[in-house]
Amino acid sequence: MVSRGSRTFVVGLALGLALGLAPGLNPGSPGNVGIASAVAGPALIEEPELRATVAVGLAATTTRLIAPTLFGIHPGLNPTSPTRAVATSWRLWDSNTMWPTLQPTRSGAFDWSSLDALVARARAQGVTDFVIPLGLTPRWAAGDSAPAGPYGPSSSTAPPLSDDDFRAYVTALAHHVTEFTGTTWAFEAWNEADLTTFFTGTPAQAARLTAIADEAAKTVNPGITIVSASVTTRRGIKPDGFFPLYLRALAAEHGFGGRPWPTDVFALHPYPSGTAGPTAASAGVALFKKVLARENAPARPLWNTEFNFGVAGPGTIPHTSFAGVAAQYMARAFLDSMRLGVSRVYPYNWAPAGNYLGVALFTDTPATKALTTLKGWLSGVRLIGCTGTELYTCHFSRGRTTFRVLWRDSSSSLVRLTRATRVCPASGGTCIVTIRPLRVGAMPVRLS
C-alpha cells in the first residue's frame, strides 16, 4: 500500500510510441513493467492534489462497490468452459438457448435440455448468475411470411404475431429458471433490436415486448431482472433513430404492478468499428449515456451485454486481429466501462483464436489472463474515483488498503515514485517493487 503521505509525480511525455511498440509497458517486452532511467520536467500532479480532485470529481462523491458480476462472458458451445476465476456471470447467447430452440412448436412441450445442460456446466464452474435474451421469434409465432432469422428458417427477426405467445414463453421460462435453486437470472428483452439482422419490428413493438416480459417474468418471480433490448453504438445513434424512439415508447409503457419504464437495466453493445480499439468503444458508451440523458430516461444500471474488437464493419471496414494487444484491449475495456459507470461487461465469445473476432478469449489466451488478473484485483473492492483524459488513474480501496490502476489511451507517460511501490501489469506478468521512474502506457498497471 502507498502511504497517504507519499507523493507521485506524473510527467506526460509525447514519446510517439505506437501501440504495437508500447502495448502498455516496456517496448519489446509486453506484459512486463517498464522502468525508466530518469524523469525530466516539472511535476504536473502531486498525489495529495490528485486525491482532492478525486474527492469532488465525477462519480467520486461516494465510493462504489465493484461487484464480481462486473465480469461476465459468453460461454459459447465449446467443451471447455470459462471458470469463475474468469467470469462470475454468463450471457446465454449463441448457445442453443433462444426461444425457437426452447419452444420449437406451438403445441409441443418445451425443450429445456440445452438450457439445463448449460446451467449444469456453469454450476460446475461455480457460476450461478445468468442473462438470457428473449428473442428471436420461432417461425410458428412469427408467421410463414415473416423474414428468416440469421440462424436458419426455424427462427424469424419479426416480433411475434400474438402478444400471448410471447407472454406464455416468458412465463414458462421464468418458472423453469426459478427451479434452479441458488441462481440469479436476468431476461434481456431482445438482442440488438436496432439491427434488422435480429429485429425487424418497430421501436414501439420492442417496447411492448419489454413491458410484457417485465409483467410476465416478475409475476412468477419478482427477483428476475428485466434488461432493456440491447442496442449497438458503432454506427452512431441518430436523434430520431431506433434507440431514442424505443426509449420514448418505453416511457409510455407499464410493466409489473403498473410500474412505468418497465426495465431494471439499460443494455448496450459498444462494438467499435473493425479497425478501432478501446477509445472508440468508450466513445460508444459515452454516446449511449448521452442519449439516455437527452430522453430523460430514469436512473438504471448500465450493462454492456456484448462486445469485442476487430469485427468487420460498418460497411467495408475490414476485420482486424488484435492478437498482439489483446490483453491490454480486454483490460482497458473493463476499466473504461467501470469508470464510465457500466456495472456489467460481457465480452463475446469463449472460443479459440482464428475466427472473426479481433480478441480471442479462451483457455490461457492473453486476453483471458488479463481478465483473470483484473477480476482478482477488482472484485469486491470499492471504486473511490477516476481522473484523467489521456493518462487515467482509478483509485480503489479494500478495507484499509488502497491501490491505484493507471493506463493511457496511447503513447506513454513517466511516473516518478518517491516510495517503494509494488507494480503489477494487468497482463498477469511479473510484479516488481521499485522506487525508480515507471513508464505507464496502454497496458494498465496496479500500484500498491
CA-based nearest residue to 253, from 202, 192, 190, 206: 206
Query: Would you state the pLDDT for residue 59?
Result: 39
How far, in whole angstroms, is CA 182 from its chain's centroid? 24
C-alpha cell at 442: 496502454
How far, in whole angstroms, is CA 275 from its chain's centroid? 19
pLDDT digits (tens, 9 = 90+) for 206-242: 999 999 999 999 999 999 999 999 999 999 999 999 9
Confidence of residue 397 (pLDDT cuts 50, 70, 90): very high
Tell me the mean pLDDT in the region 76-98. 94
Q: Is the pTM of this model over 0.95?
A: no
Tell me the mean pLDDT in the region 26-45. 42
Q: What CATH number labels 67-379?
A: 3.20.20.80
Other Cβ atoms less than 10 A from the Cβ of 333: the count is 29
| Exposed/middle/buried for residue 138 (C-beta within 10 Å: 0-12, 13-18, 19+) | buried
Q: Is 418 helix (H, G, I), strand (E, B) or coil?
A: coil
CA-based nearest residue to 95, from 84, 108, 81: 81
C-alpha cell at 225: 431482472
Domains of the chain: which residue ranges? 8-62+386-447, 67-379
Query: Would you state the pLDDT for residue 421?
Result: 97
CA-based nearest residue to 262, from 281, 279, 243, 249: 249
Work out whether strand 421-425 and strand 391-398 pair parallel, antiparallel, or are unpaired: unpaired
Residue whose C-alpha cell is 445513434: 237
Reply yes or no on whether the pLDDT at 164 is more than 80: yes
Give CA–CA dist 41/285, Å, rounded. Answer: 35
Radius of gyration (C-alpha) of the chain in whole angstroms: 23
CB 131 within 8 A of CB 89: yes
Percent of the chain with pLDDT over 90: 80
Q: Maximum distance among all alpha carbons in the chain? A: 76
Query: Would you state the pLDDT for residue 29?
Result: 43
In angstroms, the Cα distances linking 17 to 21, 25, 280 are 6, 11, 19
Reply yes or no on whether the pLDDT at 176 is more than 90: yes
Mean pLDDT of the chain: 88
Instruction: Looking at 146-202, list the stretches that DSSP marks H as alpha helix, in order from N- to C-terminal side.
Output: 163-178
pLDDT digits (tens, 9 = 90+) for 233-278: 999 999 999 999 999 999 999 999 999 999 999 999 999 999 999 9
More confident residue, 52 or 429: 429
Work out whether strand 137-138 and strand 152-156 pair parallel, antiparallel, or are unpaired: antiparallel
Confidence of residue 38 (pLDDT cuts 50, 70, 90): very low
Q: How far apart are the first and last CA of the chain?
A: 4
Reply yes or no on whether the pLDDT at 26 is more than 70: no
Across 215-349, where does the E strand assignment appear?
225-227, 231-232, 266-269, 302-307, 342-347
How far, in whole angstroms, is CA 327 from its chain's centroid? 15
Give CA–CA dist 300/394, Å, rounded. Answer: 23
